[in-house]
Amino acid sequence: MTRNSARTPLAQAQADLYKSTVRLLRRRLRRLGVSPEDAREIVQHAFEIALPRWHEVQDASEGRRRAWIERITWHLGQNFLRLARHEYEELGHRGLARARAPGSDLDERANAARLVDAALSIMLDEERALFVAYFLEDMTLDELAQHYGVSRGKLFHRLAALARAARIRIGSPPR
């Protein structure tokens, strides 16, 4: 008796769904900007969530099953990116926080001003306004995307590039 013949029809259907969708799901997550390692884990987690809920699509067609697992994976990917973005936002603020906060000491204020000026000096006016609004004035990506008329993804990538350039400029190691 082979390994596959020992499976129940239910387990075989689940295995077939995994085989037919795993590469597609990982590729779609990669297009969202998820790293290969994280994409692998998200797809695995999607199936861990989906299999106990198999009764929802047990009698459905193959196409509906694929759409079902794609939707679960999409939601997990979006949640992952939201969490990563919030983590990035917190860490992004720390980049400028490395410059000692202005205190009562005139030298501390001058040093902080030099670091901020150095970070902003390489940027164009529009880039500087975007950088300041996001990192210093705590505007959200949604607010900025609406103001500039671009997608959140494009805006996020532009901010990430500006943050990298600012970190390099002030001598902080890039992430």
116-173 tens-digit pLDDT: 777 788 888 888 888 888 877 778 888 888 888 888 888 889 888 888 888 887 776 5
Give the integer Cα–Cα distance in Å for 175 and 166. Answer: 12
Looking only at Cα atoms, what is the longest distance across the chain?
81
Say whether pLDDT at 101 is over 50.
Answer: no
Residue 103 CB partners (closer than 8 Å, separation 6+): 109
| Burial annotation 40-74 (CB, 10 A radius, 16+ → b, else e) | eebbeebbeebeeeeeebeeeeeeebbebbeebbb
Please tell me what DSSP assigns to residue 137: S
Q: What is the pLDDT of residue 166?
A: 82
What is the pTM (predicted TM-score) of this model?
A: 0.46
Give the integer Cα–Cα distance in Å for 34 and 9. Answer: 33
